[in-house]
Amino acid sequence: MWMYALNGHLLKDENLKGIKAVAINPGNLSDSRALRTNTPLILRLLSRLVIRPLRPLLRLMDPTMRTAAEAGVDVIELAVSKDYAGEAGFFTLLKKDDSSPESQDGEKQQRLWRKTLEWAQISPKDTALVVESLPLS
């Protein structure tokens, strides 16, 4: 959602409109640290003894099932490959995709944008982007 708002603000500035933001769905990461670190023992065992060994079979049912390393390669590819130069938006497995309907709601994007500026205490002097001044709370 925030990526859409960022792209909108980049487009408003003649000097920054060539910069594009993307968001990527990395897929279902079968070796994610979220399944191994600070998790209940049963989840760690499920990850190590069931999910990882069955990854090839699981991938037949869900093509987004993959490793963090594979997802990392896609992130770098999307960021620096000439094949994606000038692209903006949401991607799943290097394919342009639709994000959730809620994330495409322009009003919600702008509310999140304004709250981000507030939470990070970003004022016009802190960024090259054109941002509205926020009232100090």
- pLDDT tens, residue by residue, 52-79: 899 999 999 999 999 999 999 999 999 9
70 — phi, psi (to 5°)?
A: -65, -40
Residue 114 falls inside a structural domain = yes
| List of residues 6+ apart from 9 with CB closer than 8 A | 113, 129, 130, 131
Q: Is 110 among the domain residues?
A: yes
Q: How many domains does the chain have?
A: 1
Confidence of residue 137 (pLDDT cuts 50, 70, 90): very low
- Please give the torsion angle defined by the CA atoms of residues 26, 29, 31 and 37, in that order, rounded to the nearest 10 degrees: 90
* Domain-located, residue 13: yes
Measured between alpha carbons, how far is 66 from 53 in angstroms, rounded to an integer?
12
pLDDT at position 127: 86
The single-letter code of the amino acid at 4 is: Y
> In the predicted model, is pLDDT for residue 130 greater than 80?
no
Residue 53 is assigned to a structural domain of this protein: no
Per-residue pLDDT at 135 exceeds 60 = no
CB 17 within 8 A of CB 10: yes
- The residue written with tokens 């990882």 in the block is 52
Q: Which domain holds residue 21?
A: 1-27+86-132
Sign of CA dihedral 103, 75, 79, 60: negative
In whole angstroms, what is the distance from residue 46 CA to residue 36 CA? 10
